[in-house]
Structure 1
Amino acid sequence: MKILFVCTGNTCRSPMAEALLKHKMPEAEVQSAGIFAMKNQRPNDHVVEALQQQGVTLDTISQPVTGELLHWADLVLTMTTQHKQSLIMEYPDFQEKYYTLKEYVSNNDKKIWNQLKQQYADYEEKRSQFIQRYQHKMDHYKLEQELKEYLRHDWEKIQKLESSLINYDISDPFGGDVDTYKQTLDEIQKHIDALILKIQ
């Protein structure tokens, strides 16, 4: 199974998850990427130090999320629900692969997630149909305003469903000291252990 871990900038949480899974399961095919990542950035120094203290080597550099990467992956695990939402909006064709790491290893809320996937699919279809119909009839600003109003009710339904979910986010240590990064690493490690049990 090919696994892609995704977070915002790919210098922190997703490289931690990638390094831990490679360390604990060397045969795993795994990469990490960032929604807003630039290419070839080194991971945060605190990430490297926290992993070294666990005896884990980190030899990855950042890369942005691309359609090619999403096509390569069998499973795409995000660090937060927001990351997952961003992928659904930007790359809707792969949404059957998207889970938060915590969600994937948990059995809770499956019914709500299925409803959410359908809501997102309906939202995206309505959005693209509206744009196709009106893009030549109004300027860009007007189109954005009308589109927002047209989809407002659908977006409220999505937000309501999401607010009923358990918090599936991995804490963000950005800006913290090494101990803060170690706490996040411990949190990720617990879910990586559960992931290994699930995929073996």
Structure 2
Amino acid sequence: MKILFVCTGNTCRSPMAEALLKHKMPNLEVQSAGIFAGHKESANQKAIQVMAERDIALNHESQPVTAELLTWSDLVLTMTTGHKQALIREFPDHQHKYYTLKEFVIESDEETWKNMENNDADIEDKRSLHEANEYRDKDGENVGQLETALADYDITDPFGGDVQVYRETLEELDEYIEELVKKMKP
């Protein structure tokens, strides 16, 4: 299985998730990317530091999400629902692969997610038919209501925080990566 982790800039959360999963399952193919990532930027120094505290090297260069990466992947795990929604809007052909990390390992609120995905797809259809202005407010409201009905599926963004915030994010990631490993083992 080929797994792609996605966050915003691909310098904090997704590279830490990638390194954790590679550390726990070395034979798995894992990459990470960012919705707004630059090319070949190193990981955040605080992310490197907290990973080193666990004896895990974070030798990483950022990369943006591309259609090629999404085609390569079997599973795309995002750090937030916003990242997932951005992927659905930008790359709708691969949306069957998109989950937040928490959503994938928890497996709850399935019906709400399905409704949200259908609503997002509906918005895109209407936008492509140039009817979005008429429907946007109503459908945007529906998406907002569905989002509030969901559990919090976001991994905390440590960017701009101190080292302790990065440690806390790493703990949160580790908890869900451990659940992912359990789910993937036969």
In the aligned structure 2, how far is the partner of 1:195 from the partner of 1:154?
33
**Local SS of the residue matching 2:158:** coil
Match in the other structure for 2:141: 156
User: Where has structure 1 moved over 4 Å in runs of 4 or more?
Assistant: none
In the aligned structure 1, how far is the partner of 2:83 from the partner of 2:152?
13
In the aligned structure 1, how far is the partner of 2:134 from the partner of 2:123?
13
**Local SS of the residue matching 2:9:** coil
Please report how far the alpha carbon of residue 119 of structure 1 lies from its aligned counterpart in structure 2 after TM superposition.
1.2
Per-residue CA deviation, residues 80-105 of structure 1 (Å, 9 max, x unaligned), is 11111111111111111111000000
Match in the other structure for 2:93: 93
Aligned pair count reads 185
In angstroms, what is the RMSD of aligned CA positions?
Answer: 1.1
Structure 2's unaligned 5+ residue stretches are none
**Local SS of the residue matching 1:130:** coil
Please report how far the alpha carbon of residue 122 of structure 1 lies from its aligned counterpart in structure 2 after TM superposition.
1.5
**Local SS of the residue matching 1:32:** strand
Contact 2:126 2:135 in 1 (8 A): no
Given the alignment of the two structures, is residue 166 of structure 1 paired with residue 166 of structure 2, yes or no?
no
Q: Which moved more, 1:116-125 or 1:70-79?
A: 116-125
Amino acid at match of 1:157: N
Amino acid at match of 1:174: F
Contact 2:5 2:76 in 1 (8 A): yes
Please report how far the alpha carbon of residue 159 of structure 1 lies from its aligned counterpart in structure 2 after TM superposition.
1.2
In the aligned structure 2, how far is the partner of 1:191 from the partner of 1:128?
36
Instruction: Give the share of equivalent positions with the same residue, in percent.
Output: 56
Amino acid at match of 1:65: V
- TM-score, normalized by length of structure 2? 0.96
Match in the other structure for 1:45: 45
In the aligned structure 2, how far is the partner of 1:53 from the partner of 1:67?
34
Match in the other structure for 1:81: 81
Match in the other structure for 1:67: 67
Which protein has the larger Cα radius of gyration, Structure 1 or Structure 2?
A: 1
Please report how far the alpha carbon of residue 59 of structure 1 lies from its aligned counterpart in structure 2 after TM superposition.
1.8
In the aligned structure 2, how far is the partner of 1:5 from the partner of 1:12?
11
| 1:1-200 pair list within 5 angstroms | 1-130=1-130, 147-200=132-185
Please report how far the alpha carbon of residue 113 of structure 1 lies from its aligned counterpart in structure 2 after TM superposition.
0.7
**Local SS of the residue matching 2:85:** helix
In the aligned structure 2, how far is the partner of 1:89 from the partner of 1:164?
21
In the aligned structure 2, how far is the partner of 1:91 from the partner of 1:129?
17
**Local SS of the residue matching 2:129:** helix
Per-residue CA deviation, residues 55-81 of structure 1 (Å, 9 max, x unaligned), is 111122100000110111110000011
Please report how far the alpha carbon of residue 166 of structure 1 lies from its aligned counterpart in structure 2 after TM superposition.
0.5
Please report how far the alpha carbon of residue 33 of structure 1 lies from its aligned counterpart in structure 2 after TM superposition.
0.2
